[in-house]
Amino acid sequence: MRVAYLGPAGTFSEDALEVSHFAPEGFEPMLCETIPEAIDALATGEADRAMVPVENSIEGSVRPTLDGLIEHADEVRIAGEFDHEIRSALIARSSVNFESIEAVISHPQPLAQCALFLRTELPKAELRVASSTSAAVKQVANANEQWAAVGPARAAELYDCVVLREGIEDEPGNVTRFLWLEPREGEGVGSDPTGGTGSSWKTSLAFAELGADHPGALVDALQEFSSRQVNLVRIESRPMRRELGRYRFFIDIEGRTGADPIDAAIEGLKSKAEWVRNLGSYPSQSP
C-alpha cells in the first residue's frame, strides 16, 4: 500500500504516520512536497491512501487540506482521524548562541505555534517560510549562514544537525489532528481502522450558497441539525475564491451517514444550500 504524506523525511506528518494505527505494516511511504500534492496523488490513483494535517490546537485549521478536500470531494473521502502531540525543537547546523542566529526557517504552522518563543528568545532573527519542517532543517544543514529551523527533534538526526532547545511551542499540549484519506469508492461510510470497536463517529460536510442573502441564513441551515438533536462539534468558513463576501462552510457533526437522523439532516441541508459535499463518516478519536 502506497501512503502519501507531507515530506521530505523528518516532518511531523511522518512522525504521526509512524505512530498512528492507520498504515498497515510494510506500507510504502510516498513523500510529497506539499499537502495538495499528497491529496492529488490519492485522487489520481498514484497513492492508495493519504495522511494529512487538518487542524492544530493552537493555530486552527490547515487551509490547504480543507481546500484539497473540496477540490477532490468526488475522488477521496475521510476514513479516520488521529490526534498527534507536537513537540517543536530549535535546530541548527552546529551549536550556536541564540544571539548569533540570523534567520529561523520552518513551515508557517510551527512558526506560528512557537511565535512567543521566537519573539522573546530570538527577536532579531528573520522568520522565513519553507514548504515543510524537514525542508527547513535540510536548508539549514546545507547553509553556511547562522540559520536555525523549527521542526521535530528527529529531523536533526536525519540531517546531521543539533537541537539547540526542545519543547519551544508556546502552549503545552500542542496537538495536530490528522486525517486518514482513502479513495471514494461508491457512497457510504469510510472504513473503520479500529476494526469496528469505535463507539462514536463523526461526519464531515461542506456546503455553500445559501440562497439570497438574508438575516439568519446560516442559522436556518444549521437548524436542520439542531432540530434533530444532531450535535455540531466544529464549524469553519473559507472564501469561495470568486468574490468578496462569498463563503463555503465546513462542519463536523456527531454520528454517521446511513443512520437517521443524520441522513435526514443532510437532506434538509441540501434544501437550504446550493451544494453539499459529504467529506466522509469515520470513527471519532474523541471520547
Per-residue pLDDT tens digits for 86-129: 899 999 999 999 999 999 999 998 999 999 999 999 999 999 99
pTM check: above 0.95? no
The verdict on 178 and 47 lying in the same domain is yes
The verdict on 206 and 253 lying in the same domain is yes
Q: Which residue has the cell 442573502?
A: 213
Q: Taking a C-beta distance cutoff of 8 angstroms, is the pair 89, 161 a contact?
A: no
What range does the domain containing 152 cover? 89-166
Question: Stretch 179-198: mean pLDDT, rounded?
Answer: 61
Q: Which of 50, 20, 57 lies closest to 32, judged by CA?
A: 50
- 152 pLDDT higher than 50: yes
- Does the residue 239 lie in any domain? yes
**CATH code for position 253:** 3.30.70.260
Per-residue pLDDT tens digits for 212-255: 667 888 999 999 999 999 999 999 998 887 777 788 999 999 99
**CATH code for position 21:** 3.40.190.10
Distance of alpha carbon 153 from alpha carbon 132, whole angstroms: 14
Distance of alpha carbon 261 from alpha carbon 272, whole angstroms: 17
